[in-house]
Structure 1
Amino acid sequence: MIYKLLPTVEWDDARAVGHLVGSAVDRQDGFIHLSAADQVVETARRHFTGATGLTLLTVDPERLGDGLRWEPSRGGQLFPHLYGPLPVAAVVSTQTLPADQPAADAVAALLA
């Protein structure tokens, strides 16, 4: 499985239309940033410190087709990048992060 951490409001919008087009950063970069299980806690730490109202999506990479590519990013690690919208049907589960816990700690607890 691979993961997408995002504001819950963006997930609500995606469910309403059937797909996620990504955040402003995703759209600027031309792909949806995703993380492997061993990367998502650091992603939360780097990009979501202090943020509340977040949801962690668990995504089945088999449901993403040819648009999914593993490309070098942070420190040369290969990260999953999705070129194109993320279909809601590819999301196998969601977890709302508690607002009273740092995002990285909450993600780590969910994946433990």
Structure 2
Amino acid sequence: MQLQTQTRPKVISVTVIEDRIDAATAIQFKEKMRDVTKNGPDRVVLDLARVQFLDSSGLGAIVAVKKLLGPDRVLELAGLTPTVEKVFRLTRMDSIFTIHPSVDVAVSHAASA
């Protein structure tokens, strides 16, 4: 599981450099996310623009990362592809996460907060 991070004022963005988060990669994804966000800013933006497939294990891993961040930090999502967006909508997780059309939009929200 490859992740690319960029730390900016008030926010760290994490881009998933894979086309899927599924049962085969969910545990590795969660571990890497824990490592890259361990000492970062309070806002974490997860860029899913390259992810074409997300199953229940992948969704569970994203929810687990949100819980790992704790109550004082926030996980926001950006760049959901239509199939990934559909998973969030059907499971109503779109009401749990703040979802931005792109990382740039998310970062601009973070900068103005």
Larger RCO, structures 1/2 (Cα 8 Å, 6+ apart):
1
TM class by smaller structure: 0.3 to 0.5
TM-score when normalising by structure 1: 0.32
